Structure 1
Amino acid sequence: MNKYEDKYAEEVAEYDYDAVWILPEGARLLRWQIAGSAEAPEPNVLRIRVKRGTKVGGYESFEFEL
């Protein structure tokens, strides 16, 4: 199991935005802790949607297998 972790300043999103993490082919996301609405439409893709006014930052992580 592998884990990505990040810590950064907390803030409130000033606008709607999407972010996408694409892991190598064959990787599989296991779980995640991240602000906004997150989904894994493919085993190796994590899509995050954040709406304006959402508190973001602080700590985020996701675990995956290669």
Structure 2
Amino acid sequence: MGRKKISGSHRKVDQASHHKRRKKERANREIKERIQREFEFAERIQKEPGLTDLLKGGDSK
């Protein structure tokens, strides 16, 4: 048995809420990815002491 046909105005509501949810999910994913990149960068700084000198503007040579 098929789904009941949705009227045009209600379809717009469905579509809008779907787009809103997708937008929110995308934003959350981008935030998580940025946090992950920052975490990996912080780990790299701890492993390679020469990088902290570069970040401070000092010359490690």
TM-score norm. by structure 2 comes to: 0.19
Q: Normalization by structure 1: what TM-score? A: 0.18
Identify the structure with the greater strand proportion: 1
If each structure's helix is expressed as a fraction of its own residues, which one has the higher value?
2
Question: Higher RCO, 1 or 2 (CA under 8 Å, sep at least 6)?
Answer: 1
Structure of larger gyration radius:
2
